[in-house]
Structure 1
Amino acid sequence: MILADLLEKLEYNCIQGDVDRTVTELVYDSRKAVKDGVFVCISGAVRDGHDFAREVVEAGITSLIVEKEVDVPKDVTVILVKSTRYALAAMSAAYFGYPAEKLKTIGITGTKGKTTTTYMVKSILEKSGFKTGLIGTIETIIGDKVIPASNTTPESYIVQKTFKEMVEAGCEAVVMEVSSQGLMLHRVGGFVFDYGIFTNLEPDHIGPNEHKDMDDYISCKSMLFKQCRQGILNIDSEYYDRMIEGHTCEIETFGFSEKASLRAENMKLLKRKGYLGVEYDVKGIMDSHVEIDIPGKFSVYNSLTAIAICRHFNVSEEVIQNALKDVRVKGRVELIPISEKFTLMIDYAHNAMSLESLLTTLKAYEPKRLVCLFGCGGNRSRLRRFEMGEVSSKLADLTVVTSDNPRNEEPQAIIDDIVTGVKKGPGEYITIIDRKEAIKYCIDHAKEGDVIVLAGKGHEDYQEIKGKKYKMDERDLIRDILAGV
């Protein structure tokens, strides 16, 4: 391929060499440098690709994309751009033949609800006959191929490569989670989403390695609505007006507000033996009734978001209703039906904010007892341990403190920190280091009408101890416990 073709949608300055030269591969990892390849120098948080310019040239690279000066031989083509991250996105789109143009692209951003909503959308669209790919926190799904995820939103090169694979697999649409980091780092650059969705926003991801403050976080999220054709937003969010500042898309809204284009009315909590769910009426630009077996008001928001998206695909009300009843999301308020006597679920809640939201939702169902089992990760903020302990003790009747991913810390030391927080609340507690034994305790001591939540691990199927990941899936642990293994 010709370098100029990869640069066709970029503003750039060729400061040495020739853009009409042939290149073999597009590379952004110095370890993958190849003969006659083009290397994009990414300025990362830990390493700067510009520092490897001479090294990759010696390995055969003949073209460099830079955003600052590099010292390389004169026979190497050097292209100066404003942002090499954006350049990688635009060049990746060209490299893979602009696959997004052959798909209906759906990008969902927000602090919470992204994962569940993507699965709901995929479920509804596939039941309507639209083969749909998925990119998210848990996994990437391309037809029958499932790839575990390492980032919520992968690097732009991977996004475009995945889009191409989806097109080749016969996908007509793709639904993906779009993180604020993904937007800030141009991982979804180089194309325009057909649909951009905003679920909600809460203070999160604020810190030295993510967003400097809340304004920065909001600003990055809102970038999606300058990069999509149709915006679909939660009008109930206090940040709604900030999200649509400077938008370039058509706007549609959802929520409980009477101002919403699509709104939820007459919400009722559903509680049966071993079952928690919710039902509501859809009003506004649709008129329908929905029942789902995922509890809480946030489930109304998630499903309403999915309905707002799939409406644009002319999906029938019957298909929407059936698809929402069937949807299951691993580790997101995932009901494990093992007894009618009590309700058992697995959820990814792994910080105080998400745990408080989950337990508050479950308390609304007035369980006999609310039992919360969780641990905290090692080599992470101790403050999270105190906060989660206090939240659980404040809202749950019984807190079972156990191990999560201790990493390089001693599990007992982490548990002791959590207990410091637990003691600030009124709830009872017990500590059991071994997670399987802790789960067994919850099941063996369950009372009629209990709701038991296993929090923190969610979709994770491992436990990290001393630098090594050991297989551990809570679903397997539960099966073993019931089988007496």
Structure 2
Amino acid sequence: MKLSGILNKIKYSDLKNFQERDISHVISDSREKFKDSVFIAVKGLTSDGADFASDAVNAGAVAVIYETEIKKMLPGITYIKVDNSRIIQSAVAGAVYSEPAAKLNITGITGTNGKTSTAYIYRHILQQNKIRCCLLGTTEYDLGKRNFIPSRTTPDAVFLQRYFKEIADSGIKHAVMEVSSHALSLNRVEDIMFDRTVFTNLTQDHLDFHKTMDDYAEAKSTLFSSHLKKDGLSVINIDDPYSDIFIKSAGYKVKTFSESRKDADLLIKKVSYYNEGMEIAYSCGNKEFIVKTNLNGRFQAFNSAAAILCALDLGLNTEDIVEAFKTPVYIPGRMEKVYDNEFQIIIDYAHTPDALERAIKTIREFKTGKLITVFGCGGNRDREKRPVMGRISCENSDLTIVTSDNPRDEDPDSIINEITAGIISGSFEIESDRITAIKRSIELAGKGDIILIAGKGHEKHQEIKGVKYPYSDADVIKNITGRANG
């Protein structure tokens, strides 16, 4: 694309040293080396891309889009000043990469909990019906020809456009992605229009960033008000207290799901558990059908409902969907059974009060022995949820072992003290070393017991003082027990 074409896509207040050039790439990280690229200098919370403009030029950038003043402008380089460099990232990258999002059928999922599970279930339904679908979310970015574990739920705008191009170039037509509140607030999906938007639920989390639940809800609702195609579908959990905000933000085409409201488009009528999973009875209009799945937990009946409504909108029928569930759905780190012998060990990503309570109560529904819960809370994150999670775990578990979980820059013992401050009743122990805490839970487990290791799920690291050390709950359990998955 010509540089002049980029200028036609954005509003700019100043232009210096303009030279027409062919632009082949867009970068927002000055360490990336791409010849004939345009560098977008984004002002962040702790650093400013403008300070690294010269590095980007040395790495191959021939033009710089900036917001705050560039200290040293280099000869032969075009400098373009804009009011907000973060907002224009998606438009610039979309233009350079030939608007790849427009070539895809994209489903976006937002909510505090359930985003990952809903995305995996939706992709599973499509793939079992021979419809290729890529996925961008917390546990992996599946781009068709390659996949990898990401550093964040929703990629930055420039990378998102690149990934969409990679998906489109591979011939895949469908994508599902998790859209976090941070992504919406920080313009990571700016200019992206979705064919479907899904709201799972809203519970306490990220109040360190959004400050209030109303602000949190407002941020998430913009997925519906600003990023849904005119003929797009909104899928909403109307059992959630915040659902009205999302319904008001949605387009004219809305489908709802519920366990309690008979006016829902998809009603969860009954959930029954058996040894290897559960059966969910659904009612959709005048049609009733039963899904038998390896998934466990009433919350997965809700996540499945959201995925089913999206699949129906795509043109699949209930028979296709029921058949798809006959093949096991694998969701990394979500109620994942990693040991099943005389007792069971389950790992789950539950890191919010609501998610932890749901995970524990799900296990309560089918457990026979005692329940031991091991969990901690992340550092540099919402502190208000810590005592709440301590209370929830102790009130609903036979024993809680409070430990560390990505303490980041905080003192692990201080985090643990804030967790235990909320405990009113119930038995608990403290062990700040996570591996030792897991060993302790295994030592205490007897026949028929269940151990829930919560908070990390799929994660492959423990973040301490700015360093991400290799770590996996599943690997630790395997090393201690000498076996995995029974």
Please state which band the TM-score falls in when normalised by the shorter chain.
0.7 to 0.9
Q: What are the within-5 Å matches in structure 2 for residues 199-210 of structure 1?
A: 199-207=200-208, 210=209
Counterpart for residue 398 of structure 2: 397
1:102-132 Cα shifts (integer Å, max 9, x gaps): 2211111111110111110111111111111
1:204 CA drift (Å): 2.3
When residues 352 and 250 of structure 1 are mapped into structure 2, their CA distance, relative to the original with a 3 A threshold, is closer
2:237 is aligned with 1:234: yes
Q: Which residue matches 1:358? A: 359
Say if 1:3 and 1:281 are closer, same or farther in 2 by CA, change over 3 A.
Answer: same
Mapped partners of 1:328, 1:484: distance in 2: 19
Asked if the contact 1:2/1:19 (under 8 Å) is kept, the reply is no
Give the Cα separation in 1 of the matches to 2:67 and 2:378. Answer: 38
Q: Quote the offset at 1:322 in angstroms.
A: 4.0
Whole-angstrom distance in 2 between the partners of 1:156 and 1:484: 41
CA distance in 2, matches of 1:202, 1:122: 25
Question: How many residues are matched?
Answer: 477
Aligned equivalents of 2:58 and 2:479: distance in 1?
55
Q: Give the residue type in structure 2 aligned to 1:193.
A: F
Partner of 2:65: 65
Q: CA deviation at 1:289?
A: 1.1
Correspondence 1:40-189 to 2 at 5 A:
40-52=40-52, 61-67=61-67, 72=73, 77-143=78-144, 145-189=146-190
Classify the secondary structure of the residue corresponding to 1:300: helix
Question: Who is 2:330 aligned against?
Answer: 328
Query: Partner of 1:245: helix, strand, or coil?
Result: helix
Q: Is the 8 A contact 1:14 1:77 kept in 2?
A: no
Cα distance in structure 2, aligned partners of 1:380 and 1:183: 18
> Does structure 1 conserve the Cα–Cα contact (< 8 Å) formed by 2:106 and 2:196?
yes
- Name 1:270's counterpart in structure 2: 273
Task: Tell me the secondary structure at the aligned position of residue 477 of structure 2.
Answer: helix
Q: Contact 2:235–2:254 (CA<8 Å) still a contact in 1?
A: yes
How does the TM-score come out when normalised to structure 1? Answer: 0.86
Structure-2 separation of matches of 1:484 and 1:344 = 12
Give, as a single letter, the amino acid of the residue that structure 2 aligns with 1:400: I
Question: 1-side partners of 2:70 and 2:409: how far apart?
Answer: 40
Query: CA–CA distance in 2 between the matches of 1:353 and 1:28?
Result: 36
Structure 1 distance, partners of 2:339, 2:483, is: 17
Shift of residue 331, structure 1, vs aligned partner: 1.1
Distance 1:59 1:134 in 2: 30
What secondary structure sits across from 1:336 in the alignment? strand
Seen in structure 2, the aligned counterparts of structure 1 residues 80 and 286 have a Cα distance that, compared at 3 Å, is: farther
CA deviation map 1:25-58 (0-9, x unaligned) = 4232234477754222312111223445577568
Q: Which residue of 1 aligns with 2:196?
A: 195
Q: CA deviation at 1:88?
A: 0.9
8 Å CA contact 1:16–1:74 kept in 2: the answer is no
Note if contact 1:17-1:76 (Cα within 8 Å) is conserved in structure 2: yes
Is the contact made by 2:32 and 2:59 (CA closer than 8 Å) also made in structure 1? Answer: no
Give the equivalent residue in structure 1 for 2:256. Answer: 253
Cα distance in 2 for residues equivalent to 1:411 and 1:180: 27
Contact 1:303 1:324 in 2 (8 A): no
Note closer, same or farther for the CA distance 1:47–1:234 as it changes in structure 2 (3 Å cut).
same
Q: In the alignment, what sits opposite 1:213?
A: 212
Task: Tell me, yes or no, if the aligned pair for 1:91 and 1:190 is still in contact at 8 Å.
Answer: no
Distance 1:334 1:58, change over 3 A: closer
Following superposition, the deviation at residue 296 of structure 1 comes to 2.8
How far residue 312 of structure 1 moved from its aligned partner, in angstroms, is: 2.2
Relative to structure 1, the CA distance from residue 111 to residue 285 in structure 2 (aligned partners, 3 Å threshold; closer, same or farther) is farther
Kindly indicate whether the alpha-carbon contact (under 8 Å) linking 1:227 and 1:248 is maintained by their aligned counterparts in 2: no
SS at match of 2:218: helix
Q: Check whether the contact 1:403–1:415 (CA below 8 A) recurs between aligned residues.
A: yes
Residues in 2 aligned to 1:359 and 1:418: alpha-carbon distance in whole angstroms:
17
Cα distance change of structure 1 residues 43 and 298 upon mapping to structure 2, 3 Å threshold: same
Which is worse superposed, 413-422 or 244-253? 413-422
| Structure 1 residue 77, shift from structure 2 partner | 4.0
Q: Is the 8 A contact 2:295 2:329 kept in 1?
A: no
Task: State the SS of the aligned residue for 1:30.
Answer: coil
Measured against aligned partners, the alpha-carbon deviations of 1:202-237 in whole angstroms (never above 9, x if no partner) come to 232122xx2243333222212212322322222222
Query: Which secondary structure state, in structure 2, belongs to the residue aligned with residue 460 of structure 1?
Result: coil
Give the partner amino acid of 2:101. Answer: A
Indicate the larger mover: 56-65 or 142-151.
Answer: 56-65
Identical counterparts, % of pairs: 38
User: Which residue pairs with 2:453 in the alignment?
Assistant: 454
Secondary structure of the corresponding residue to residue 478 of structure 1: helix
Displacement, 1:477?
2.8
1:174-197 deviation line (CA, Å, top 9, x unaligned): 110011111122211233111111
SS in structure 2 at match of 1:287: strand
| Structure 1 match to 2:477 | 478
Matching residue's letter, 1:239: Y
Alpha-carbon separation, structure 1, partners of 2:417 and 2:13: 58
Structure 2: distance between partners of 1:291 and 1:379:
40
Aligned residues of 1:103 and 1:174 also touching (Cα < 8 A) = yes
Q: CA–CA distance in 2 between the matches of 1:393 and 1:366?
A: 17
| Amino acid in structure 1 at the alignment position of 2:396 | L
